[in-house]
Amino acid sequence: MFIKSLLSKLFTPKYIEETAGFIDDNPEHILVNDKRTFKKMLSVLSKANSCVMDTEADSMHHYQEKLSLIQISVGKYHWLLDPLCGLNLKDLWKCKALKRITFHACDYDLRLLSRFYEFYPEHIYDTSIAAKLLGEKQTGLAAIVEKYFGIKLDKENQRADWTKRPLSPEMCRYAVLDTIFLDAIKELQCENLKKLGRLEWLHESCRYLLEHLKKNEDSDEEVKETWRLKGSNAFKPLELQLLKAIWQWRDREAKKRDCASYRVLSPYFLLAVARVAAKVKGKINEHDLPKLPRNLRGKLLQSFLADLNAAASAPSSTYPSQIRRKASPRTAIDDDLREKLRELRNEKAAQLKIDSGLLAKQSQLNALADSLNGDWEAKFEAAELMSWQREIWQSLVEKAVLPKTAEELRTWAKERILAMSEENKAKESEKLIQGFALRPILESGFIAAFYPTKFEPQIVPFLKELADEGRLLLPRVIDQNNMEFVHVKNLEQDLQTGAFGIIEPKADMPVFEGTPTAFLVPGLVFGKDCARIGRGAGYYDRYLASFKTIPKLGIAYSVQVRSALPQNTMDIRMSEVIWYK
């Protein structure tokens, strides 16, 4: 009752003769499945300025997907419209109320309405988008309703078969609860968005979604060969022939059973069968196939094998051909710039307390970092940024300055390493150590490694393992220009703090006279092109110049790696740079 009273004060009527206080503890619904109830519903919708809508479909339960229920709420009226009862709904889409519709996560709803009725509203309000712009951690309807009204929604019927008639009382209650709260949620969200100065962000985001759904629909190509499943692009003609045959077998079975095709056989199973069956010489039998699902037995299996063998024995001239991939648009994405833009985006999103993807998705970051897209304004256009996003990015790109000189890169790397959390440092260091165990080059012989400083991955456990095996070499500074490696057997007894505050072997330990199997090399910045920038004294570059054929593995945190680095003739490139995220 308190909620009803509160909402009665907050929310004004939305249509003629509406009474305030339209959220009920036990809402009553009106089932619209005949001309009389349909006409009454239209009489209200023709006068109302807006409505709330949701839809239910049956793609999980039947061969042909159907729009099975349309929920519409206007104030105290909550209609459950049955699209399967034979009513002609053309007059519905002309109603005034349907020009402005409030949804929650409406992408799929709009696709269904377009596909089955060629209908798009003129304006939408999406409470899910609004929740994201408000920085809500959970943006599902149930979470929002519980937060705003303290009511827990029962989602038991979320995967129900909505073609069943009559609809059970539980299904009706579930369906009506999907709409009755949305108008109230919208009012509260709009107030909060106004306070944050983000209401126009929401309106533009809703327009953007609606426009892009229409645009994508208009640009859709003709129906593709649906049997060409994702993952079959590289299939050879025989594999495609077999895949097509068993896909068509599955399609017939799904149609016969009136069920979703994936419930007959999964697409992953079809791909696996096509791969292995193509290698069989002669007749394909059950034992030639991958492990069969439990529902593929007896006569069903024999029918499946018969179609498979018929396809395999057909003339090769009838096999489907491979589809040539369309050439991807030419790009020149600067990986380092993209990473800088990502950092700026994430920092701004954290400041705004919203998900970073709202400021730019991965594809938009790619467009912003593509030098072929021209200046920043042209890049904003290529990235299809909304006006509110552009306004934010116009201030961010001023900070998108990349370090160029070696000294700038060293400063850049140190700042990034110091900004890493201890947890992330530990995780990446552990992944590095685990990765060492998978590299045959490190399994035997002496390994010339390094004792890590605070700017380097913490690989001490691996050093201890090498020391225990008698295979560890560590560097020791001799003078201002040179260093040497020493055989270290005990990390606790053989080491001391040496030049530059770095842990190194004690001065009285003999230099190693042999040749290491591999070098693990530290650095401040590494390039994906295997370039390296160290602290600047040149010790490693001078020493490694004498070991051109020995593998040199640069060891780094992920934040130390760039796409490429400036190098001079004295700089030694790594054989490989190892890092993990």
CATH number for the domain spanning 66: value is 3.30.420.10
3-state secondary structure 228-256: CCCCCCCCCHHHHHHHHHHHHHHHHHHHH
Please check whether residue 393 lies inside any domain of the structure: yes
Assess contact for 379 and 373: CB atoms under 8 A.
yes
Euclidean distance between CA atoms 271 and 259, whole angstroms: 20
Q: Average model confidence (pLDDT) for the chain?
A: 92
DSSP readout, 190-205? Answer: HHHHHHHT-HHHHHHH
Q: What is the pLDDT of residues 78-112, one digit of tens each?
A: 999 999 999 999 999 999 999 999 999 999 999 99
- Among 292, 318, 344, the domain-final residue is 318
Give me the residue label for tokens 């913490």: 458
Please check whether residue 372 lies inside any domain of the structure: yes
Query: Is the pLDDT assigned to residue 447 strictly greater than 60?
Result: yes
160 three-class SS = coil
Domain count for the chain: 4
> Does residue 125 sit in the same domain as residue 148?
yes
Query: Is the pLDDT assigned to residue 149 strictly greater than 70?
Result: yes
92 three-class SS = helix
Query: Is the pLDDT assigned to residue 512 strictly greater than 50?
Result: yes
Angle at 454 between CA 449 and CA 455, to 5 degrees: 75
> Does residue 295 sit in the same domain as residue 354?
no
pLDDT of residue 53: 98
- Among 373, 399, 425, the domain-final residue is 399
> Does residue 176 sit in the same domain as residue 283?
no
**What's the whole-number mean pLDDT along residues 241-252?**
97
Give the torsion through C-alpha atoms of 466, 468, 471, 476, to 10 deg: 80
Q: Model confidence at 179, in pLDDT bands (50, 70, 90)?
A: very high
Euclidean distance between CA atoms 61 and 177, whole angstroms: 22
Please check whether residue 323 lies inside any domain of the structure: no
> Does residue 520 sit in the same domain as residue 475?
yes
Burial class (CB in 10 A: 0-12, 13-18, 19+), 122: exposed
> Does residue 351 sit in the same domain as residue 213?
no
> Does residue 243 sit in the same domain as residue 389?
no
pLDDT of residue 159: 85
> Does residue 291 sit in the same domain as residue 359?
no
Give me the residue label for tokens 């020149």: 332
pLDDT of residue 217: 72
**What's the whole-number mean pLDDT along residues 123-145?**
97
Euclidean distance between CA atoms 177 and 171, whole angstroms: 10
Q: Model confidence at 44, in pLDDT bands (50, 70, 90)?
A: very high
Alpha helices in 219-316 (DSSP H): 237-257, 267-277, 298-312
- Picking from 295, 297, 400, the residue whose alpha carbon sits closest to that of residue 347 is 400
Euclidean distance between CA atoms 236 and 414, whole angstroms: 50
Q: Model confidence at 2, in pLDDT bands (50, 70, 90)?
A: very low
> Does residue 391 sit in the same domain as residue 414?
no
Q: What is the pLDDT of residues 273-296, one digit of tens each?
A: 999 999 999 999 999 999 999 999
Please check whether residue 25 lies inside any domain of the structure: yes
Structural domain containing residue 67: 2-218
Give me the residue label for tokens 């890092």: 579
Euclidean distance between CA atoms 430 and 462, whole angstroms: 10
Pick from 16-20, 141-145, 573-577: least confident: 16-20
Q: Name the strand (E) or helix (H) holding 495.
A: strand 495-497
What is the percent of the chain where pLDDT is above 70?
94
Please check whether residue 231 lies inside any domain of the structure: no
Q: What is the pLDDT of residues 195-218, one digit of tens each?
A: 999 999 999 999 999 999 988 876
Written as six digits, the tokens of 275 are 């791969």
> Does residue 462 sit in the same domain as residue 371?
no
Q: What is the pLDDT of residues 298-352, one digit of tens each?
A: 999 999 999 999 999 999 999 999 987 666 677 889 999 999 999 999 999 999 9
pLDDT of residue 326: 66
Euclidean distance between CA atoms 423 and 425, whole angstroms: 5
Written as six digits, the tokens of 536 are 């600047």
Please check whether residue 229 lies inside any domain of the structure: no
> Does residue 390 sit in the same domain as residue 476?
no
CATH number of the domain residue 541 falls in = 3.40.50.10420
Assess contact for 580 and 558: CB atoms under 8 A.
yes
Residue 572 DSSP one-character state: P
Q: Model confidence at 6, in pLDDT bands (50, 70, 90)?
A: very low
Query: Is the pLDDT assigned to residue 417 strictly greater than 90?
Result: yes
Angle at 496 between CA 492 and CA 500, to 5 degrees: 140
Please check whether residue 484 lies inside any domain of the structure: yes
pLDDT of residue 275: 97
Burial class (CB in 10 A: 0-12, 13-18, 19+), 356: middle
DSSP readout, 498-527? Answer: -GGG-EEE-TTSPBP-S--SEEEE--SEEE
Q: What is the pLDDT of residues 382-407, one digit of tens each?
A: 999 999 999 999 999 999 999 999 99
> Does residue 209 sit in the same domain as residue 95?
yes
Assess contact for 428 and 418: CB atoms under 8 A.
no
pTM above 0.95, yes or no: no
Q: What is the pLDDT of residues 421-439, one digit of tens each?
A: 999 999 999 999 999 999 9
> Does residue 6 sit in the same domain as residue 139?
yes
- Among 191, 218, 245, the domain-final residue is 218
Please check whether residue 328 lies inside any domain of the structure: no
Query: Is the pLDDT assigned to residue 19 strictly greater than 50?
Result: no
169 three-class SS = helix
Query: Is the pLDDT assigned to residue 132 strictly greater than 60?
Result: yes
Q: Model confidence at 26, in pLDDT bands (50, 70, 90)?
A: low
